Amino acid sequence: EVQLVQSGAEVKKPGESLKISCKGSGYTFTSYWIGWVRQMPGKGLEWMGIIYPGDSDTRYSPSFQGQVSISADKSISTAYLQWSSLKASDTAMYYCARRAGYNYHYFDYWGQGTLVTVSS
Amino acid sequence: QSALTQPASVSGSPGQSITISCTGTSSDVGGYNYVSWYQQHPGKAPKLMIYDVSNRPSGVSNRFSGSKSGNTASLTISGLQAEDEADYYCNSYTSSSTFWVFGGGTKLTVL
């Protein structure tokens, strides 16, 4: 059974760093892109970026380029989303999702989400 | 501002059919058959309902169907059930640097 399990909720202060994770299981982790999606409180879905764990090829949405960093450790089948200096506006639910295939354009499995709260 | 335009809300009674539209441009919806739809219940992760315009993943009810005409894609839900009440998001591949874009989401209320 394919599963994406994300790390737990985080409460941080502005300016702090953070790294959240997404662990894949039930499939060959290195053969599928993993994307990250932001959902701000009461708002819609926004695509942030995507990584191919097989070779760490990473693409970012222009809105998030330079604001976050996406990485993966294929030895433990885990993808990461990282901030070096959080802002209050980073408060949101973050989902990881598996791209259905290398050249496919939809996301077939989603993690349960990680709630990030940034507040002084 | 979302790249794809969806109605903020739609409603219908049990047993009825509803359609949610998703309007883009020739750079996204109109240019590719890569429209997908996701259902999101409150507090839950999105769930894939339709991919590549009109294909249903295994396990998704055949009451859900998708189509596209020009720059507008549509999700139709027939035989509405209370459990269909949720937010629905369309998504399309785009030739712009963002790769994929979501619609703003539509809240479906089952009366």
| Rounded Cα–Cα distance for residues B28 and B6 (Å) | 14
The 10s digit of each residue's pLDDT in A38-73 is 999 999 999 999 999 999 999 999 999 999 999 999
A107:B36 CB<8 A:
yes
Residues 6+ apart with CB under 8 A from A63: A46, A48, B98
* Number of neighbouring beta carbons within 10 Å of residue B1: 4
Res B1: pLDDT: 46
Chain B: nearest CA to A110, how far in angstroms?
Answer: 7
Strand partners for A5: A23
Average model confidence (pLDDT) for chain A? 96
The 10s digit of each residue's pLDDT in A72-84 is 999 999 999 999 9
The bridge status of strand B35-40 relative to strand B47-50 is antiparallel
Residue A49 identity: G
B48:A107 CB<8 A:
yes
**Euclidean distance between the first and the last CA atom of chain A, given in angstroms as a whole number:** 40
B32:A46 CB<8 A:
no
For residue A88, give both structure tokens: 């209050």
The 10s digit of each residue's pLDDT in B27-44 is 999 999 999 999 999 999
Strand partners for B47: B39
| Rounded Cα–Cα distance for residues A52 and A56 (Å) | 5
Res B2: pLDDT: 56
Task: Tell me how many helices (H) and strands (E) chain A has.
Answer: 0, 11
- Which of B:15-34 have CB within 8 Å of A? 32, 34
Chain A residue numbers with beta carbons less than 8 Å from the beta carbon of B28 are none
Report the chain A residue with the minimal C-alpha distance to residue B107.
A44
Residues A9 and A21 sit within 8 Å (Cβ to Cβ): no
Task: Give percent helix, percent strand, percent coil of chain B, each to the nearest 5.
Answer: 5, 50, 50
Select from A95, A99, A105, A109 the residue whose CB has the most chain B CBs within 10 Å, as the one to mutate to test that interface.
A105
Q: Is B6 helix (H, G, I), strand (E, B) or coil?
A: coil
